[in-house]
Structure 1
């Protein structure tokens, strides 16, 4: 399993920027992003419970309001601690190379003025490549044969009804952001024939 090296930097970024920091996600600030991670990792029942009628729904809404009312450092500390011991989310993240944390960290970082790509450690680069290898096969829906090229290697995403071929070059993390549909902040170079480029515009990337 991949080591958890992204959680500590993410927590430090949350603390440094605060709850009102912008993100690249439309309508979300830092507090919204943190709440999303906490519900995903520690309080998944809030995701569904708040939509339920009756007592269960009211309890979930109250629990969500209580969570939002906690001091910012306390909420960040919960992210730093990570999922509970038997949480399936923790196992998924370790197996997938921390893809969710890597992407959401950049959602926060790259909304700030003057941002620049981070210098990742060898472990973080390996995690980004592992996440890309797994998540890109789910997140990229384009009718073209795509080859993702990074310093760590190449990854081919074939299509049954290909309109052409294209190559996307960049660091592993940049490719991960591109595969998740974050074109406005991913630093990649895309080359392809006319049919593939048209298919890229018509296709879908992201979960």
Structure 2
């Protein structure tokens, strides 16, 4: 049985398997020192984050604990980092186990975590270009936009997100203006999570909406 099939069986298959395999291939090709758009993070930091949140979330905060608990957590993370890069990429490619809380949440969210972080890695390099349109990926990204935008956006304006797949309107209580943001589903997903430097979107709005955008925040 191929690695791709095994990863799909473990993590739920379908679109998730495709995006996970694509991200794993990017990690393998670019190496641990590849830059990302995340301040202070290279590919190694990003891969560690993804694997820990799926399989060992206690090691994310554990190293900051005092005493022996913190020391053991730091040692465990260092031991993981000492393993060859190819093995760590393979851990990610295999996906979370069936009891992983992060894995279950990702399937509900349209795989937003994988879609966003793949672009964090891809767009950290000079000369990057958006990926070609893909119906299944666009469907997953648009679903993720609908789920994440109300959580990630705190803008005192009525915002309409417009993509080739349709529109989503987010009303704000006490709105000071309105905005329309146009883009492909994946670009809109990056925009609602605050990745302005790489999200290829077009923003239209009145003066109140523009002020609200500058004063508001996006991201989790």
TM over 0.5: yes
The corresponding residue for 2:182 is 169
Verify: 1:54 aligned to 2:54, yes or no.
no
Distance 1:40 1:120 in 2: 29
Per-residue deviation, residues 64-117 of structure 1 (Å, max 9, x unmatched)? 000111100111111111112211111111111000111110000001111100
Moved over 2 A (4+): none
Preserved contact between residue 3 and residue 94 of structure 1 (Cα < 8 Å): no
Decide which of 24, 33, 44 is 1:20's aligned counterpart: 33
Decide which of 83, 87, 99 is 1:74's aligned counterpart: 87
Per-residue deviation, residues 94-152 of structure 1 (Å, max 9, x unmatched)? 11100011111000000111110001421111110011100011001000000000001
Matches within 5 A, 1:1-207: 3-4=15-16, 5-207=18-220
Shift of 1:51: 1.4
Distance 2:159 2:119 in 1: 24
Report the secondary structure of 1:6's partner residue.
Answer: helix
Distance 1:94 1:185 in 2: 25
Preserved contact between residue 141 and residue 205 of structure 1 (Cα < 8 Å): yes
Distance 1:149 1:47 in 2: 36
- TM-score, L = length of structure 2: 0.92
Aligned length: 207
Structure 1: 5+ residue stretches without partners: none
Distance 1:84 1:120 in 2: 30
Report the secondary structure of 2:64's partner residue.
Answer: coil
Structure 2: 5+ residue stretches without partners: 1-11
Shift of 1:39: 1.3
What RMSD in Å do the two structures reach over aligned CA positions?
1.1
